[in-house]
A and B are shown apart, each in its own frame.
Chain A
Amino acid sequence: MRFRFSHSIILIPVVFLSFFFIYPLASILVRSLEGNTDFVFVPFRTLFVDSYYLGRIWFTIWQATISTIMSVVVALPIAYFFARCDFPGKTFLKALCTLPFVMPTIVVAMGFLSLFGAQGLINTLLMKIFELDKPPIMLSNTLAIIIIAHVFYNYAVVVRIVSSFWSSLDSQLEDTAKILGGSRIQVLCRVTLPLISPALISSSALAFAFSFTSLGVVLVLGGPQFATLEVSIYELTTKLFRLPLAAALSVVQLGFTYLVLFVYTRYQKMASMQLGLQSRGERLHSYGRPIRGIFIVAMVVYIFCLLSPLGALIFRFFAETREYLPFLFIGLFSDQAGSYFYLSPIIVIWNSVKFALCTVIISTIVGVIIAYRLSGSQGSISGIFDSLFMMPLGMSAVTLGYGYLISFNRDPFDLRGSWIILVIAHSIVAYPFVVRSVLPVINSMDKSLKDAAKLLGASQSRIFLSVELPIILPAILVGATFAFAVSMGEFGSSLMLLRPENATIPIAIFKFLGLPGEVNVGRALAMSGLLMIIVSLSFMAIEKFRYKGSGGF
């Protein structure tokens, strides 16, 4: 085969991943296991003999399964809504919908507490109405709240990826089915669901991987009674310093994620068919006006119910701080105590946005190239590679953080304390989102469009820019949105050494909640509010980038 630029470009993600994922991962695993002079497999044996760890593995699997199913069920109506309805303020509502994904777990936990807690809004209300002396709903530290939190975090992933795919589907297929006499439910089950299944599979794989490796949610909301694999790895690595066992657990987690993703990608390959994907919207549904109006109102109410924990936080902020709101903001923007670690919120926000945008750029480039190459390859090998490229999703953030520490600690790559390493770590977690949201679209693209362009004499790059890019751009934007969100939400950042001047919004929030006192709660909530505002605005801005003339996705 003749050398082509489009083939060699795959080297960019390959080099990037070898250097920043495989190398640090291998270093820490080797380092952890080399202490065992007798036999490397001893920690693995401990793992499978100790019923405690077997229990952890089992628990991790089933809680992730339930969380994923629930996320999909909760998300589907919204995905349909965004795909098939246009109304003013849609961009804003979509941005709001994606907010939970970014919020630090301790803030979300406080939101749940303000809503469902013993002194939360719902319990207070119920106690007043029914004159009870004990709060009727007790969810704190239960399995239920962990699952609810996973749904709260992950439904947006399903909503965004599925609705983006769905909206580019030609609604004629559904209309035809209806004309041929299919009932609404028949059409849904036999036409629509099979059609959207590539995106559904893709996004639920992400939701599963995220619930599977969940750390913060389980730690903060459930407590150590509900340890997942990732929680065990975290405890063994950072606290107990039993690296061999932690390494063995990381390998098990990675291996299991690989298996699951492999099955997923096989199904995705089977499910995808060439569809007439369009870059413009002409697919609004044929409901009558009043029904459509009612539907929109119902969906908006539904979405606001989902977001109510964040609403409860805002309510709590204004209820608790009304006496000293001005003081609070003066204290936030100028530091009377003169702390060495004080940073103005403006610098903190700039840091967060800077890291997030760099993450978006790196992960979009890496993700799109991978998705593009994967769509081109055929057969069972592509499944193996597809799931290999998704491996960072199953990676324990703790293990990777320690891997960076021992891999990049000597010149010329002494990256400890530098923000670059943070952006790279974020990109490693973020690019699978780009791949997963772009891949179903590329796979389902009508190849005849490309062939027609080729026949008309267009060059490879011209075809990409004029034919393919307009169709996959919405999916890239969805991926970019999540890349931005991953970085803003600071996944695993506390595991890196970070200079104080590089503090981000979540770090500032954690700092305030590290001390007792109402003012600290107020400041943490104020910073959370700022985070919500910045992130919503950014999501809306990302939506704005699109081709001239292509309709409103």
Chain B
Amino acid sequence: MTLFFSQLINGLHVGIIYALIALGYTMVYGIVKLINFAHGDIIMVGAYTAVITLVSLNVPPVVALLLTILVCVIFGVTIERVAYKPLRSSPRISSLITAIGVSMLLQNTALLVFGAASRPFPTIFSIPPLRFAGIQISFVTALTIVVSLVLMLLLQTFIKTSKAGKAMRAASEDYNTAQLMGINVNNTITLTFAIGCALAGIGAFLYVMAYPAVSPTMGSLPGLKAFIAAVLGGIGIIPGAMLGGVVMGIAESLTKAYISTQLSDAVVYGILIVVLLVKPTGLLGKQTREKV
């Protein structure tokens, strides 16, 4: 039972990071209907920023985190403006391919600049693990979960109550009508990318604290999984991304513990397939039918 709970906590730890990253996917998809394949590589950008600022520049962790967020946001917004914005009226698949191109560009540039070898991420907190009823929870795990939950709450409040949040919801509901109602859709989209990338930056920081290895291709796998999490929850739906991420993380960690490490990916994809077959628009998605 103890094993089960500690695996559950582990799953929650990685799942909530997936959820943070998935938010970026889902928010962008909600408005521009683009699967932003480069989003995973923003994690890589964030991780390198974190490792450079912490190790080479020797700044305090909080400053490193802020710089990481800043760099991620700058990257995200630049990518959006340069690569995606000109394609907004093109077929959606063109932007998808562009996103793949951007992803490759980021990875290969990192490969050129930093080399293929992975860099270790320093330990920031040497605080002993917390104990609850015999279950050990590392400080990083607890921190990750708390920080992520707070961020998600903040995001929900922002989207539900602020003017910009309302604009985002309107734009994702109907892009053209939002424009006609006087919403600056371009700025709204930029803001969406900025928020998504800021979350990815924080996610990156939390991710490398858990898996302390930074390499040019490190973003692909958590990126892909976060994206699947977003689909699992119902893409375009913010609480869906959170739910999807947590479900994915827990499923992955339980499979690794009880079934097989090699098969954990298969189980994750299997869950995705089953969910989509039973509920074709994801866990929290609404079934919409084209009006005849």
Partners in one complex: no
B residues with a Cβ closer than 8 A to A are none
A residues with a Cβ closer than 8 A to B are none
